[in-house]
Amino acid sequence: MADFRLFLFFFFLLFYLQPSRSHESCHPGCDLMVPIHFPFQMMSNPPENRCGYDGFTVTCKNETRNILTFPFSGDFVIDSISYFSQRISITDPCNCIARRLLQGFNYSDTPFRPLDTRNFTFLNCTSDAPVFQSPGGVSPIPCLSSESHSFVALPTERVGASNTSSCTEVVTFMHPSLDDSIKDSILLTWKEPDCGRCESDGGFCQYKYDTSSEVSCFTPFDHGLPKYERYTVFVIVSTGLCIVGFIIIIRRKIRSQGEESDTEISRSTNTSQLENVAGKGLDSPTIKMYPTTVVDESLQLPKPTDNICPICLLEYKANDILRTIPSCAHYFHVHCIDEWLKRNATCPLCRNYY
C-alpha cells in the first residue's frame, strides 16, 4: 500500500512538473526591462497559445517598446508592470503625458482603472505670470510651452488660492492620480484576473484548461527552475516513476516482510520533498534586520535613478521608509517589501536568493 502511495507521489509530481507548452511559447515582449507574461500577451502570439487575458494585448513599437492601446485614447508605452501589486505605469510615446490628458484620457473598455482620480485645471499663462514665481510657484509643462506662452496644470481646488493673473483657464480634466502635479506617467491597476497573490508566491497564472477562461496559479517550483533544469527534473521523476512501478510489481510477487519499513522511509522522503517544493519566506526578526533608510526632504536616494518602488510603482516621497535587500542592494517601501519577504526568499526585482 505504501509503495502505491510512493507511486502516486511520483505520478503527481510528474504531472506537477510537466512543462507548460503555452507558457514556453509566449513571446516575452520587446522591452527586456518590462517582461510581458500572463495576463499580458503579445499580439504576435498565435491565439491558440492562449498566452494572455482579454484586454491585455501588447504590441511592439520599433522593436524596443511595449505598447498598450486604449480604444478611446490610443497608444501608450508600458513603462513598468508590477505583477505582484497588479499595477501598470504607462507613458506617452512622445513624452508629453499632459497633452494626452488634455485630449481626454479614457480607459473605458479596458481592464485598467486609476488608483484614484483628481480634477486638474489647465491654464495658459504668460511666461512671467506670478503663478511661476517662487516661493510656492509651479513649473510650466515644458512639452506644451513656448517662449511666449507657458502652460501649467493645477489641482482644480487650488486654482482659487493661487495667483492666476496673466493666466487663462483652458479646460478642467480628470487626472488618474492623487499627486499635486502631472507626472511623466499614469499609474493604473487591474482587478481581473486576480494573480497578485500567485505572483507574490513566486508562481504564475495561466488558463486552467485549453477551452475555458478559468485561470489557475501554477507552481512556484515549476516557475522557479530554469527550463533545462526543469526538464532534467522531469526526466529524473519519470525515471523514478518507472522504477517505483517496477518495484511494486516485484514486491507484489515476492510479498517480502521488509515492505513496511522501506516504505516508511519513502514516505518521509516524500514529505521532505514536498516541503521543499512549497518554498518559504523569511521570519519577522530576519526581515527587521535588513537595513532601512528614511527618504529626506531633498529626496536623496541610494540610487538616484531608482526613484520608484518596483512593487507598488509609486514614486518615493520625503519621509518614506525604504528597506534594502543587502545581497543585491535593491530597495523598496518597507510595507511593500515586508509583505513580499514573508512569502518569498527571493528579491522581487532580480529574483536572486538571499
Q: Which residues bind to Zn ion, rule: CB under 5 A?
A: 309, 311-312, 328, 330, 333, 336, 347, 349-350
Separation between Cα atoms, residue 250 and residue 307, nearest integer Å: 64
Q: With respect to Zn ion, which residue has the nearer C-beta, 119 or 292?
A: 292
Do 70 and 103 form a contact (C-beta atoms < 8 A)? no
The answer to whether 33 and 305 have CB atoms below 8 angstroms apart is: no
What are the grid coordinates assigned to 30, written together?
A: 520587446
- Please report, as a single letter, which amino acid is at residue 69: T
Residues 6 or more apart whose CB falls under 8 angstroms from that of 301 comprise: 295, 307, 316, 322
- Contact between 211 and 202 (Cβ < 8 Å): no
- Supply the minimum distance, in Å, between the C-beta of residue 85 and Zn ion: 8
Given the complex with Zn ion, which of 9 and 340 has the nearer CB atom?
A: 340
Cell numbers 497573490 correspond to 197
* Nearer Cβ to Zn ion (82/164): 82
- Quote the least distance from Cβ 114 to Zn ion, whole Å: 17
Q: How far is the CB of 128 from Zn ion (least distance, A)?
A: 39
CB of 227 to Zn ion, least distance (A): 22
Partnered with residue 154 across adjacent β-strands are 121
Residue (17 or 309) nearer to Zn ion, CB: 309
Paired sense of beta strands 74-82 and 149-155, if any: unpaired
C-alpha cell at 55: 484586454
DSSP result, 13-34: HHHHHPPPHHHHTS---S-TTS
Please identify, using beta-carbon distances, which residue of 50 and 330 lies nearer to Zn ion: 330
Count of CB atoms within 10 A of residue 269's CB?
A: 12
Quick one: 80 or 145, whose CB is closer to Zn ion? 80
Residue 134 C-beta: closest distance to Zn ion, Å: 31
b/e code 307-322 from CB counts within 10 Å (16+ = b):
ebbbbbbbebeeebeb
- Which one, 171 or 350, has the nearer CB to Zn ion? 350
Of the two residues 204 and 331, which places its CB atom closer to Zn ion in the complex? 331
Closest distance to Zn ion from the beta carbon of 354 (Å): 9
Give the CA dihedral 245, 249, 252, 256, nearest 10 degrees: -80
Which of 70, 71, 68, 111 is closest to 79 using CA atoms? 68
Q: How far is the CB of 352 from Zn ion (least distance, A)?
A: 5
Residue whose CB is less far from Zn ion, 295 or 336: 336
Query: Minimum CB separation from Zn ion for residue 336, in Å?
Result: 3
User: Which three cell numbers, joined as nine digits, stand for 303?
Assistant: 540610487
Q: CB neighbours of 191 closer than 8 A, spacing ≥ 6?
A: 86, 111, 113
Find out whether 314 and 283 touch, Cβ atoms under 8 Å.
no
Question: Taking the CB of residue 167, how many other CB atoms lie within 10 A of it?
Answer: 23
Report, in Å, the least distance between residue 350 CB and Zn ion: 3
